[in-house]
Amino acid sequence: MIRFQRVGADAVGEWDAFLDGPTDGTLFHRLSFLSYHPEGRFHVHWLEARRDGRLIAVLPAAAEEEPDGRALGSPYGGSFGGFAAGSIGPVAHQELLTALVSHAREAGFRRLWLSSRPAPYRIHGEGAEFALAAAGGTITAREVTHVADLRGGEEAVRARIRGTSRRGARKAERIGTTVRRGGRADLDAFWAVLAEDRGRLGATPTHTAAELHDLFTRRPDDFRLWVAENGGRIVGGKLVFVATPRIALGFYTARLAVDEAERCANLLTERAMLELAAEGFEFLDYGTSTLRGELLPGLSEFKEGFGGLAFLRETWRLDLD
């Protein structure tokens, strides 16, 4: 019989050791990543699933007050959530969900919100999605994310880039733009570019500069930064998270609104694809191309120009009454 138990910060070591094994977990399932959030931002409710005392799945979740009662959601403060488990099938996933529902009811929750990772992340199949549907769960949101295949070597990766996208990268080079790998010393300059870029859209970056420094310090091997320079200054940048050992997730791409930054996003994306492929990553997830379910055509076409194929991120709701 599977049972869920709530755990605290002392579980971080065992939790991360479990995720280091053959699970379908991501960076956003790791407590050592999620702990960068300041205390009190979320009402965390970290859960471990055990069968006969053996850890078989983890669920990073948080509680939230809704108008009609408390809800338990996963992810919180990250891109993906839901169960992270080993190689289990639909029967075990149904047992997991039944055990979670039992725990949630006993804890006073009226609703579950669970995310569904895009298909390339589902290395053990879609048992979790089947279990949710079979239990009466409904999909309340669908977002499109674009994922590029990095397999097959440099020639194969280059062949997936459209001519117009390659020409954009060459144009950036002709006006003097160069790209190099960045590090923590470049974060403040990169964040300034990012803040200006998002400000033109009336938005702010998800992370503060201090939070990016914290993340780079906390888990330095899980981030890749490329910066574009022209005329002696940083005019653009691309920050990538290592979501899994197979998949890199492009979290931020930004540029200044100056002539020297023209097409630098093309050059940054091309360089990131080639270097990540050389490191052994199989896919580059460019991130969502929608806003509240509405496709952003220009962003979608840019990512398709660099080999991106559309996959779905789905949000599931399961009422417990």
Using CA atoms, how far apart are residues 170 and 163, in angstroms rounded to an integer?
11
Domain membership of residue 58 (yes or no) is yes
Using CA atoms, how far apart are residues 300 and 293, in angstroms rounded to an integer?
13
Helix (H) or strand (E) holding 305: helix 297-305
Residues 123 and 7 in one domain: yes
Residues 79 and 164 in one domain: no
Using CA atoms, how far apart are residues 151 and 160, in angstroms rounded to an integer?
11
pLDDT at 26 over 90: yes
Question: CB burial class (10 A; 0-12, 13-18, 19+) of residue 258?
Answer: middle
Asked whether 76 and 60 are in contact (CB, 8 A), the reply is yes
Give pLDDT tens digits for 139-195.
999 999 999 999 999 999 999 999 999 999 999 999 999 999 999 999 999 999 999
pLDDT recorded at residue 285? 98
Residues 27 and 102 in one domain: yes
SS3 51: strand
Strand partners for 285: 147, 249
Residues 161 and 236 in one domain: yes
pLDDT at 64 over 90: yes
Q: How far is CA 298 from the centre of its chain?
A: 21
Give pLDDT tens digits for 83-133.
999 999 999 999 999 999 999 999 999 999 999 899 999 999 999 999 999
pTM of the complete model beyond 0.85:
yes
Q: Domain holding 90: CATH number?
A: 3.40.630.30
pLDDT at 223 over 90: yes
Using CA atoms, how far apart are residues 241 and 50, in angstroms rounded to an integer?
29
Domain containing residue 14 = 2-136
Total domains present in the chain: 2
How many Å is the Cα radius of gyration of the chain?
21
Q: For the chain, give the percent of residues with pLDDT over 70.
A: 100
Residues 74 and 125 in one domain: yes
